Amino acid sequence: MKVVNYITNRNLEFAVMAMMITEECIVCSACQTECKKGGIYYDDATERYVIDAELCDGCGACTEVCPVDCIVVLAR
């Protein structure tokens, strides 16, 4: 039973955060413009673009326009 619970929790974690911008980002903003969900924002504190897991539906459109392929899919 413990194993089943572990798998369920892991799946939930992936579903919440499916996309991530890595450190290779050159801060060009192309992904933010492309995202129709408003799911990408610039974080002033870290000076980086971030994907909002609450808004992102994992469509992958941002990955198509990123010039350095630094948006990765953690799980679908």
Residue number with CB closer to ligand SF4 (1 or 27) = 27
Q: Rounded distance, CA 64 to CA 31, Å?
A: 9
Q: Rounded distance, CA 31 to CA 18, Å?
A: 15
The answer to whether residue 64 forms part of the interface with ligand SF4 (CB under 6 A) is no
Q: Rounded distance, CA 51 to CA 19, Å?
A: 7
Element at 4 (helix H, strand E): helix 2-16
The answer to whether residue 68 forms part of the interface with ligand SF4 (CB under 6 A) is yes
CB of 47 to ligand SF4, least distance (A): 11
- What is the per-residue binding string for ligand SF4 in 2-21, x denoting contact by CB under 6 A? -----------------x-x
Q: Rounded distance, CA 19 to CA 10, Å?
A: 15
Residues of this chain that interact with ligand SF4 (CB under 6 A) are 19, 21, 25-31, 34-35, 37, 39-40, 49, 51, 56-62, 65-68, 70-71
